Amino acid sequence: MKRKKTDAAFTSDDVLAALRSATRVLGFGMLGVLLYYFTSGIAMVAPNEAGLVLRLGRPLGAPRPPGLLLAFPLPIDEVIKVPVKTVQEVPLNLWACAGADSGSLDPAAQPYSLTGDANIIRANFVVRYQIADPAAYALGASDRDGLRDAILYQAACKAVSAMSVENALTVGKNEIGLSALRLAQAELDRLGLGLRLLAFETKEIAPPSTVAGAFQAVVSAKVQARTFVEEANSYAASQLPGAEAEANRIRQEAETYAQGTIAKARGEASAFNALETQYAANPTLVRARLYGEALSVALPKAKLSTLLPGTGSPRVLLAPQVDKSPRRSEPDSLP
């Protein structure tokens, strides 16, 4: 009986010691848990991030820069890290899905986009962006990624629908990206999503495979026609200066000739008027003078040898004419 009591007492002491030990361990554990809880609000913000502190669900002050961030634990404070300096990409490949070459035109099964002249194209875009406003990005919308993608697709669709298929497939690829970038940024700013678009890159724009050959033939023909027109314009531009110079030369010569002719005609008219005045004053003298002037012009041409005066009409004796043939002409007289 004494041994049983001793064993029972020993057992009780051991249990009490074990309980004390467990209490100490539990106390240290609780202390560790409390310490971990109170320090759970402390966070390290990376160099490419900004820290946003929400106190009871509302933003507390401006976003915190990179470094150690002190805050109260949940549910008082909540720390959200936003990668503001990271360039993120969003692929817009819904219109360039794997089954695009099946020839189907079902927009539910094979999505596509329409150009401004009602032609079908399939496109592939890549959008790069950064977070400009951490608070607006974190708190602006519950499904911000879905809303962002919807805005980007809507902007791309508007940009494509404002352009003809020829421009979209050739020279308008960059214009589509620039136009979509402007439209998407305006909508993102209006909704306050806190995103800044950096690039709206057009990776690929192509017609459906079933009509790709016809599209390519039409585009090639238009490019060739444009080349012919440019060559013709270049040729015209090279020929026009010479033609204009020649026209100016001819015009100047004509004006010079006209001025000379007019001046000569005016001189002859003045001389005739003066002769008429003299003739009215002394007709006999004027006729004799005119007759002498006519003879001074005509006689050298006729190779005159002698002028025989007479009571009537004067008689002119011509010098013998020398012919190339051996035969010589005889002197003759003209009345």
Residue 100 pLDDT exceeds 50? no
Please, what sign has the CA dihedral across residues 283, 289, 293, 294?
A: positive
DSSP reduced 3-state for 83: coil
Residue 152 pLDDT exceeds 90? yes
Residue 283 pLDDT exceeds 90? no
Looking at domain 89-207, its CATH class is alpha beta
Cis check: omega of the bond before 208, within 30 degrees of 0: no
Percentage of the residues of the chain whose pLDDT score is greater than 90: 20
Place of tokens 């041409």: 301
DSSP reduced 3-state for 264: helix
Q: pLDDT higher for 130 or 282? A: 130
Q: pLDDT higher for 121 or 324? A: 121
Domain ranges of the chain: 17-82, 89-207, 217-281, 298-334
As a whole number, mean pLDDT of residues 124-149 equals 88
Mean pLDDT over the full length of the chain = 77
pLDDT band at 129 (very low <50, low <70, confident <90, very high): very high
Q: Is 324 left (phi over 0), alpha (psi -120 to 50) or beta?
A: alpha
As a whole number, mean pLDDT of residues 83-109 equals 72
Residue 320 pLDDT exceeds 80? no
What pLDDT does 105 receive? 64
pLDDT in tens, 212-249: 777 778 778 888 898 999 999 999 889 888 888 999 99
What pLDDT does 335 receive? 38
Q: Are strands 195-206 and 304-308 parallel, antiparallel or unpaired?
A: unpaired
pLDDT band at 330 (very low <50, low <70, confident <90, very high): very low
What pLDDT does 164 receive? 85
What pLDDT does 123 receive? 86
Q: pLDDT higher for 284 or 229? A: 229
What pLDDT does 325 receive? 52
DSSP secondary structure of 103-157 = ----TTTS--EE-TTS-EEEEEEEEEEEES-HHHHHHS-TTHHHHHHHHHHHHHH
pLDDT band at 65 (very low <50, low <70, confident <90, very high): confident
State the Cα–Cα distance between residues 234 and 237, nearest whole angstrom: 5
- 225-230: list long-range contacts, CB under 8 Å, 24+ apart: none
